[in-house]
């Protein structure tokens, strides 16, 4: 594991972008950031961890919502400065808005249209 962590090219703030994809469908679910600890915990526990830039702390995806991401595979790009994380998404939703994917806003002509089914009510889950 140490060799993997050393080969990663982290940004100056110690982060590497992580694209999260459903391992069955190939749907892109989200983009987040990992630091060495998040990557290490993900590899060790097989549950995906990230570094929250807004909260400045490590977080386990689904720790509040219950929509945990179980690791299926990890791949790095050619420069080792981005990671592709394939997961089994429990609960059906990866986005904190309740959508399956964070990429639910699509360009249609000159408009940005929200698409996709909401899987849970974020107010009930997060109390916001």
Write out pLDDT tens, residues 92-120.
899 999 999 999 999 999 999 999 889 99
Q: In angstroms, what CA-CA distances link 15 with 71, 79, 113?
A: 19, 14, 31
Whether residue 88 is contained in a domain is answered as yes
Write out pLDDT tens, residues 11-24.
999 999 999 999 99
Amino acid 128: pLDDT: 62
Residue 82 has pLDDT above 70, yes or no: yes
Whether residue 29 is contained in a domain is answered as yes
User: Which residue reads 């290490």 in tokens?
Assistant: 40
112 three-state secondary structure: strand
Amino acid 7: pLDDT: 85
Whether residue 52 is contained in a domain is answered as yes
How many structural domains compose the chain?
1
Q: What is the dihedral of CA 116, 119, 121, 126, to 10 degrees?
A: -110
Whether residue 120 is contained in a domain is answered as no
Amino acid 3: pLDDT: 81
Whether residue 42 is contained in a domain is answered as yes
91 DSSP 8-state letter: G
């Amino acid at each position: 594991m140490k060799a993997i962590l050393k080969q990663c090219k982290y940004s100056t703030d110690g982060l590497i972008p992580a694209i999260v994809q459903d391992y069955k469908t190939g749907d892109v679910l989200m983009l987040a950031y990992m630091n060495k600890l998040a990557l290490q915990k993900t590899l060790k526990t097989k549950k995906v961890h990230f570094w929250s830039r807004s909260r400045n702390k490590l977080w386990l995806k689904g720790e509040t919502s219950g929509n945990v991401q179980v690791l299926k595979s990890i791949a790095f790009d050619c420069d080792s400065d981005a990671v592709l994380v394939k997961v089994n998404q429990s609960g059906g939703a990866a986005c904190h808005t309740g959508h399956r994917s964070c990429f639910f806003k699509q360009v249609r002509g000159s408009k940005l249209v929200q698409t996709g089914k909401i899987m849970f009510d974020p107010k009930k889950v997060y109390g916001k």
